[in-house]
Amino acid sequence: MSARLNRLNPFTRSGWIIAAFAFLGLTLALAVVDRLNPIGRTRADDRSVIVTAADGTLLRAFVSRDGKWRLPVKPDQVDARYLRMALAWEDQRFHDHPGVDPVAMLRALHQLALEARVVSGGSTITMQVARLMEPRERTLPAKFAQMARALQLDWHLSKNEVLELYLTLAPFGGNLEGVRAASFAWFGKEPRRLTVGEAALLVALPQSPERRRPDRFPEIAKAARDRVLKTLAERGVITAREAKEAMEEQIPSRRQRFPFHAPHLAQELLAQNKGRDPVIASTLDASVQAKLEDLARRERGYFDDDANIAVIVVENATRNVVAYLGGANFWVNAGQVDLGKASRSPGSTLKPFIYGIAFDDLVVHPQTLIDDKPTLFGDYEPRNFDRGFQGTVTVARALQQSLNVPAVALLDRVGPIRLASVMRNAGAELVFPKKGAIPSLPLALGGVGISLRDLTMLYVAIPTGGEVRPLRFRMGDEPGEPHRLFGPPAAWYLADVLKGANLPDGWSMGQGIERDRQIAFKTGTSYGYRDAWSLGFSNRFTVGIWVGRADGSTRPGHIGRNDAAPLLLKVFDLLPGEERWSSPPPDGAFVAQNAEQLPRALQRFRRSTTLVAGLKRIQPPRIAFPPNGATVSLENPKKPQALPLKAQGGRAPLRWVINGLPLESPSLIGDTWWTPDGEGFARITVVDADGRSDTSQIRLKAEN
């Protein structure tokens, strides 16, 4: 090798040395320039924030800070034929040059010298990206700066990343930037699938976006598009037949609207987007959301009193919200108010939770007999909606028919403060008519404010074994901490009872008609006919419906059964199919066909309102240990020691219930022992002979 070098002409050797030093000097100069003038934050960082469905479908977009529709997009989200045509038209050697194409530059200079005018530009896509990122006046120094930046971009970024910047920043007329925004505005669709004519128009527009705007200058736009088609056909990028057919395609005459789905939720997710992520992936199902919005618009047209609709659909297993409607029309008066978050009186829709706690405490069973008759609770005398009474009925029927006196009687036993605490601990926000008011018996009939979101969150606990978790609106969010409303047996009782709820007029389930999906549901109507509710669940989904007026005014004659329940059933018809419900009774559930098959204490519910003459009233039971909210240390979590359970008051015998399951034998003196399974949370309830109860939520934790 050295002998060969020695045979080289000395001038040749010197030339190689000079070239090597020149290359090294140029490289060092570029490195210094790169160090002194790094790629900083530019217009490319100010993209439109978009909210998508779980599968990436665009739901709603927001303009960038400088007022542009600059939607983020990646090359694999764009039609491959368009990419091929754009590269062939703008930069044929894009994948081969280092950001600046010397061949194209020499060709442009040669044509300028021959024709005395600009015939073709030497600008590469990378140079265009540099200009779009940092707009400058079109001067010779600006051109050199643009070339230097292009070399820098190619040095730091992959070709795919440079192409992504071009697809995001290229101008397409007005405040449209990027191929995704242009495709939505001119064709009303994502750029994944474009016709040859559509692709050619998008290739032509960035060269002169204002002069070629299709909505203002359709003839100029068509001529530019056809010129692209003809040239690319001559180059063999497309066939002559494709070019001829594409030239016959119509030029769009106006801009189309961007997708505008789930606007209330999208606005909320944008407000929570502190990191200004350009893409917010929600948990919504795009297809279900679109169908829901169409249904709501049609249904709202049937109301003649300016009523509005809010709907939420949740997947039970994941708590993912798959569809959300904060109102049926975003553009009407008060349409921007998210009615899914508004606090409203829930009517009778809280009754299942009263029954669930009563089931959990072994106060009643679905087949327990209970009286529905005129009853005074102090100075409070509840009446049924129809002002009549049913007499003695089963607890199951009392809930199915939403009878008021049985619900209030059970709440009197369970305790309104306890019911409110259970719902609040699960994450529901309750708003009472007066600030600082103590929960009382009217809570059973809707004497509190709660949002559709929170109420639906609570209802998801019924088909999932009594456990509440926060709803998830955004992909990637961690599941929240669980809170137990009641045990699996109580949840199973509730689901079984609510499956038998009477359908609204005109709907049939049974009588030889098999529905694809078994639905359990409950309706409610607030005082003064202000709010109509229906909440229901299948094995896979839970749906919450609210119908009312945004200003909270009355709607005489409108009730949940007639307004909300039919809509709930129609929403379930929009959802993906599922297997028919089959849930065997969980451990601890007692299956009975009638009251006679129940233990004596559960056969009939009686209020403890009378005293034996001369005897002192016995106080309700109270758990002395472990106290509510306590953390109990375990010496050995793998072999936990037995814990004492102590209670005071109550009429013997006392029964202890742990996480919905009763201990084997009652306690005559109130004290007993319980061996936990290990670390975790436990719900301990004591019930006396009169059905009165007290509950402690505790945490079991290993000693440090």
**392-401, 501-510, 626-635: lowest mean pLDDT where?**
501-510
3-state secondary structure at position 490: helix
Closest CA to 550 of 704, 702, 329: 329
Q: Residue 585's pLDDT is what?
A: 92
Q: How confident is the model at residue 615 (pLDDT cuts 50, 70, 90)?
A: very low
**What percentage of the chain has pLDDT greater than the value 70?**
87
CA angle 357, 361, 366 (to 5 degrees): 70
pLDDT bracket for residue 24 (50, 70, 90) = low
Specify the pLDDT at position 289.
Answer: 98
Confidence of residue 186 (pLDDT cuts 50, 70, 90): very high
Minimum mean pLDDT range among 55-64, 164-173, 571-580, 608-617: 608-617
Checking if the pLDDT of 565 tops 60, the result is yes
Residue 510 pLDDT grade (very low, low, confident, very high; cuts 50, 70, 90): very low
Look at 6-20, 224-238, 475-489 and tell me which has the smallest mean pLDDT.
6-20
Query: Can you tell me the mean pLDDT for 615-630?
Result: 76
**Residue 293 corresponds to which tokens in the numbers above?**
């919005």
With bands split at pLDDT 50, 70 and 90, how would you rate the model's confidence at 655? confident
| pLDDT band (50, 70, 90) for residue 221 | very high
Q: What is the pLDDT of residue 25?
A: 57
Cis amide bond preceding 141, omega within 30 = no
Q: What's the rounded mean pLDDT across residues 587-614?
A: 79
Q: In the structure, what pLDDT confidence band is assigned to residue 506 with cuts at 50, 70 and 90?
A: confident
Residue predicted with more confidence, 35 or 698: 698
Q: Check residue 105 and give its pLDDT.
A: 61
pLDDT at 26 over 80: no
348 given a catalytic annotation: yes
Residues 6+ apart with CB under 8 A from 21: none
The residue ranges of every structural domain in the chain are 2-36, 44-247, 347-531, 608-702
Q: Which CATH architecture describes the domain 608-702? A: Sandwich (2.60)
pLDDT of residue 41: 56
Same fold? 44-247, 347-531: no
Residue 363: predicted pLDDT: 93
Helix (H, G, I), strand (E, B) or coil at 524: strand
> What local confidence, expressed as pLDDT, does residue 119 receive?
42
pLDDT tens-digit series, residues 124-159? 899 899 889 887 777 777 777 778 888 888 888 999
599 has pLDDT over 60 = yes
**pLDDT at residue 685, rounded to an integer:** 86
Q: Is the pLDDT of residue 281 over 60?
A: yes
| Fold of the domain built from segment(s) 44-247 | Penicillin binding protein transpeptidase fold (1.10.3810)
Bridge partner list, 535: 522, 544
Identify the pLDDT of residue 639.
83
Find which of 233-237, 331-335, 575-579 is predicted with most confidence, using mean pLDDT.
Answer: 233-237
More confident residue, 580 or 594: 594
Q: How would residue 34 be classed by pLDDT, with cut points 50, 70 and 90?
A: low
State the pLDDT at residue 541.
97
Q: What are phi and psi of 605, to 5 degrees?
A: -90, 130
| pLDDT on residue 611 | 38
Tokens of 646: 């102590």
As a whole number, mean pLDDT of residues 499-525 equals 77
Query: How does residue 666 score in pLDDT terms, banded at 50, 70 and 90?
Result: low
3-class secondary structure for 303-336?
A: CCCCCEEEEEEEECCCCEEEEEECCCCCCCCCCC
CA distance 462 to 501: 15
H/E run at residue 185: helix 179-187
Mean pLDDT of the chain: 87
**Is 553 noted as a catalytic residue in this protein?**
no
Q: Which of 48, 90, 451, 667 is catalytic?
A: 90
Angle between helices 404-414 and 351-360 (to 10 degrees): 50
> Which is higher by pLDDT, 31 or 443?
443
Q: Return the percentage of the chain with pLDDT > 90, whole number.
A: 57
642, two tokens: 């037995």
Angle between helices 196-204 and 179-187 (to 10 degrees): 120
Predicted pLDDT of residue 13 = 62
pLDDT tens for each residue of 377-395: 877 888 887 778 889 999 9
- Between the two ends of the chain, the Cα-to-Cα distance in Å is 73
613: pLDDT strictly greater than 70: no
Active-site choice (348, 534, 538, 693): 348
pLDDT at 30: 60
- pLDDT of 350 above 80: yes
Please list, in sequence order, all residues whose beta carbon lies within 8 angstroms of the beta carbon of residue 701, skipping any fewer than 6 positions away. Answer: 631, 632, 633, 634, 679
Average of per-residue pLDDT across 672-679 = 88
- The answer to whether residue 255 scores a pLDDT higher than 50 is yes
CATH topology of domain 347-531: Beta-lactamase (3.40.710)
pLDDT bucket at 617, cuts 50 / 70 / 90: low
What pLDDT score was predicted for residue 122? 63
Is 60 exceeded by the pLDDT of residue 291? Answer: yes
CA distances to 79, 457, 480, 533, 545 from 315, in Å = 33, 11, 15, 19, 15
Instruction: Give 11's pLDDT tier (boundaries 50, 70, 90).
Output: very low
> Residue 31: its pLDDT value, please?
60
- Which range has the worst mean pLDDT, 41-50, 252-261, 446-455, 558-567? 41-50
pLDDT band at 117 (very low <50, low <70, confident <90, very high): very low
The pLDDT, as a whole number, for residue 542 is 98
